[in-house]
Chains A and B, each alone.
Chain A
Amino acid sequence: MLQLVVGQLLNGVIVGTLYAIIALGVTLTFGITGIVNFALGAFMMLGAYFTWYLTDGLHVPYPLAVPLAVAAIALLGLVVDQVLFRFTRNNLINGLIVSIGLISVIVAFVLMVWSTTPQNMEYVLPGVFRIGGVIVPKMKAVVFVVLLVVILATYAALTRTWAGRAAYAFAQNPEAAALMGVRTKVLQAGVAAYSTALAGLGGALYASLYSITPEIGGSYILKGVEAAILAGIGSVMGSFAGGIIIGVAEGVGSIFLPSAYNDAYGLVFLVLILLFKPAGLFGRSS
């Protein structure tokens, strides 16, 4: 029993980092452009398909396929931001609806090119680690480490570099930031592209672990938004914690309840948090 719980706990942490990478994108986009981009889930799904196509279709080695896919997604994110989201800045409802529309466009594209059949990438890194009686597949450990490094690097970049501090300043007061020499248009476009790149990275790593279907984006963006709100939207390490909390709740919860209800934990947490601590778990209440 203990092994099972610990195993599910670890599993939950790893899935949780995947939620966290989406949550990070949601939080960054929201902080800098004032919109919640629901299409990040669709970009993640697209990243998974690109990676799968590059490795299994074009036989590009996986470590090279991931950066290629991420770069392609980042470029797409930049284009979409300049063509669509630039016109909905700070209009939350319009941005939400445009991003929902964008999901349909991306899903329709994937359905036309790759159909609904689930795709399974060949194993990149077979084998498992055994710690005590607990089994962790090597690839899952790699995914966890990569995502953790990216999240920490993002945090460091935001707090330690000029561009990161500019982003913080802009989130607090756009006009003052502009007066201090922050090139706000470039900053917004850059953050939007970076957020989609994060989602693309999540997808590229996801592809090495699970089957890819056009539906994965929907469930991941929901968890990502939940994680971002759970911790208090706008906080980088908070979205990390939020993702882990939801992942662990699902992992441990599936021992006791049918896994069909897995999607419900995040929703229940979210409703409770919004009702009793609307600034988020780690947010200061205003």
Chain B
Amino acid sequence: MKWLLLWIPLALVPAAVSNNVVLTVLIFTFILGILGVSFNLIFGFTGQLSLFHAAAFGLSAYATYLSMAHWGVSFWIGMATGVVFVTLISIVIGTICFRFKLKELYFAIVTLAFSELARLVILNWTSFTNGSLGINFTLTPTLWLPGRGVVPVAGTTMWYYLSLIAVALAVAFYSRILHSWMGRTFAAIRLNDALADTLGINVFRYKLICFIAGNAGAAVAGSLYAFYISYIDPHYFSVDQSLAIIAMALLGGREYVAAPIVGAFVLTALPHVINVNAEVRILIYGLILILSILLMPRGIVGSLVRRRRAA
């Protein structure tokens, strides 16, 4: 329960801070945090290194925008379309991978292959996706607010609360899963899936559920991210994006549901704190991956918690 208290100061930040840069960093932290938290369900808690996460993020961003542009539906229906689309694709990919018992390297490579295929399709289906140039758009999500009716989500404060609520719901959703018997099933699969199988756990079914639930989170993050920056392009699918996702989970800590948000915060805040160009940022991502594996395998949150317990 005490973890719930951490959300309260975050909800008060816009009242105390009027600096737009700080709020913007936090908005990106929350949206990318959803991405990191959902990835960690698959990677940290169930032990599957999926390289499809950036693709789920990107596919949903495209599906959300394209369904809104072509069918004239609202953002929320668009987001639902994105989530359903990603879920269907995850069922297909997950069934292929888990039915054939692909593990470790093979799972990583096959998910990477599907992610590359998705990127190639988006890149080359120019009439639909505008190829490598991407699409700039002006559509915005709308919200019904008590007393003000239906209003477009515009301005930093509204986006702040929207993304904060979204990440809080994501954390609640994933911790609900992980603190149920299903979470223990995932842990059993992570530790030894052959043993889990002999204990009567349907490994196929729970790996698939985990893969779908994780990718659905990436889909939500993709819709929000696309509409916050009002722009989609094939970079959503890029290797850099996958790197950033893994870095968030590793840096934050693999053992705690919300820890990747800390990783997302460090990665988004870093370029603002020290003014760096793109090359240096790639360098920093790389060093974070290497150093967190070799020196801090439990991540920031994991190391802090352990230090406090030791003291």
Contact surface of A with B, Cβ cutoff 8 Å: 36, 84, 87-88, 92-94, 96-98, 100-105, 107-109, 111-112, 218, 222, 225-226, 229, 258, 260-261, 263-264, 267-268, 270-271, 274-275, 278
- Do A93 and B104 touch (CB < 8 A)? yes
- Do A270 and B110 touch (CB < 8 A)? yes
Q: Which listed residue (A87, A105, A225, A275) contacts B109, Cβ 8 A?
A: A225
Q: How many B residues face the partner with a CB closer than 8 A?
A: 36
Contact with A along B211-234 (1 / 0, CB 8 A): 000000000000000000000000
Other 13 A-B pairs with CB < 8 A, given A98-B289, A98-B293: A92-B105, A97-B49, A97-B250, A97-B293, A98-B294, A100-B243, A101-B290, A108-B279, A111-B279, A226-B113, A260-B120, A261-B120, A264-B117
At the interface, yes or no: B286 with Cβ under 8 Å from chain A? yes
- Do B100 and A274 touch (CB < 8 A)? yes
CA distance A109 to B104 in the complex (A): 30
| Of listed B102, B109, B110, residue having the most chain A CB within 10 A | B109
Interface of B is mostly: helix
- Chain B residues with Cβ under 8 A from A258's Cβ? 124
At the interface, yes or no: B246 with Cβ under 8 Å from chain A? yes
CA distance A274 to B109 in the complex (A): 10
- Do B105 and A105 touch (CB < 8 A)? no
Which residue in chain B gives the minimum CB-CB distance to A269?
B113
Contact surface of B with A, Cβ cutoff 8 Å: 49, 96, 100, 102, 104-106, 108-110, 112-114, 116-117, 120, 123-124, 239, 243, 246, 250, 278-280, 282-283, 285-290, 293-294, 297
Which residue in chain A gives the minimum CB-CB distance to B295?
A87
Q: Which listed residue (A101, A104, A229) contacts B293, Cβ 8 A?
A: A101
- Do B100 and A84 touch (CB < 8 A)? no
- Do B287 and A105 touch (CB < 8 A)? yes
Which residue in chain B gives the minimum CB-CB distance to A260?
B124
Which residue in chain A gives the minimum CB-CB distance to B291?
A101
Which residue in chain B gives the minimum CB-CB distance to A101?
B289
- Chain A residues with Cβ under 8 A from B287's Cβ? 101, 105
- Chain B residues with Cβ under 8 A from A109's Cβ? 283
- Do A229 and B106 touch (CB < 8 A)? yes
- Chain B residues with Cβ under 8 A from A218's Cβ? 239
Nearest-CB distance from B117 to chain A (Å)? 6
CA distance A218 to B119 in the complex (A): 14
Nearest-CB distance from A227 to chain B (Å)? 12
> Given the interface contacts A98-B294, A101-B290, A101-B293, does A229 sit within 8 Å of B109 by beta carbon?
yes
CA distance A237 to B119 in the complex (A): 32
- Do B100 and A275 touch (CB < 8 A)? yes
Nearest-CB distance from B278 to chain A (Å)? 8
Nearest-CB distance from B285 to chain A (Å)? 5
- Chain B residues with Cβ under 8 A from A88's Cβ? 293-294
Q: Which listed residue (A102, A112, A268) contacts B290, Cβ 8 A?
A: A102
Nearest-CB distance from A213 to chain B (Å)? 14
> Given the interface contacts A93-B49, A108-B279, A218-B239, does A98 sit within 8 Å of B290 by beta carbon?
yes
- Chain B residues with Cβ under 8 A from A105's Cβ? 283, 286-287, 290
- Identify the 4 closest CB pairs spanning chains A and B, nearest first: A104-B286, A101-B289, A108-B283, A101-B290
- Do B108 and A278 touch (CB < 8 A)? no
- Chain A residues with Cβ under 8 A from B117's Cβ? 264, 267-268
Nearest-CB distance from A100 to chain B (Å)? 6
Q: Which listed residue (B96, B105, B120, B283) contacts A271, Cβ 8 A?
A: B96
CA distance A88 to B100 in the complex (A): 27
- Do A274 and B289 touch (CB < 8 A)? no
- Do A260 and B286 touch (CB < 8 A)? no
CA distance A31 to B113 in the complex (A): 23
Q: Which listed residue (B102, B280, B282) contacts A274, Cβ 8 A?
A: B102
- Do B120 and A104 touch (CB < 8 A)? no
- Do A101 and B286 touch (CB < 8 A)? yes
CA distance A109 to B284 in the complex (A): 11
| Of listed B100, B124, B285, B293, residue having the most chain A CB within 10 A | B293
> Given the interface contacts A225-B109, A264-B117, A264-B120, does A108 sit within 8 Å of B288 by beta carbon?
no
